[in-house]
Amino acid sequence: MKKLIFPTLFFLLMLTTVEAQDATATSKGSWLIEANTGFGGGDFSVANTANTSFGLSSSNGTTIWAIGAEGGHFIAEDLALKLGLGFTDLDGETIFTYKVGAKYYVNGSIPFQVDFTGASSDLFFDEDPLWLGLQGGYAIFIADNVSVEPGLRYNISLNSDFTEEGLFEFRIGFVIHL
């Protein structure tokens, strides 16, 4: 019996501590700055290269590097409106990416995001690609105002000209809550 009491009390104490950290980080009026890494697709498709995350990949003599970030403001408890910008270099060709969306934290620690992502480049002839993004994960608060957020993302193509209908990604986000 004694062996169960200590672990149970420890678990409840940790749960209370995590909940207290989350309540202040996602409260109304707070801000967030987010940087993501994206692992998905495994190819050099438009959906895989046009994003607001950090990345570096090379295959068959082609190198892609990307840099981007997202920011948001909590307009209500656990609900943030977000904007993102990204830049990708595809062997000298550039892609500019923008993102507008909303992120909701269920219980302050389970983030769900819905957004629209668009890209602009000379690589696209008829129309610039657009995607509807759906994302979910878990926020691990390593400090009162810093979280690591692993999650899954699915981008749904909104263009008829692109053959890519969608792309799954595994992401790891690093978020600073201000």
User: What amino acid is encoded at 35 in this protein?
Assistant: A
In this prediction, residue 163 has a pLDDT band, given cuts at 50, 70 and 90, of low
Euclidean distance between CA atoms 160 and 79, whole angstroms: 32
69, containing H or E segment: strand 62-76
Whether 55 has a pLDDT exceeding 60, the answer reads yes
pTM above 0.85, yes or no: no
Whether 3 has a pLDDT exceeding 80, the answer reads no
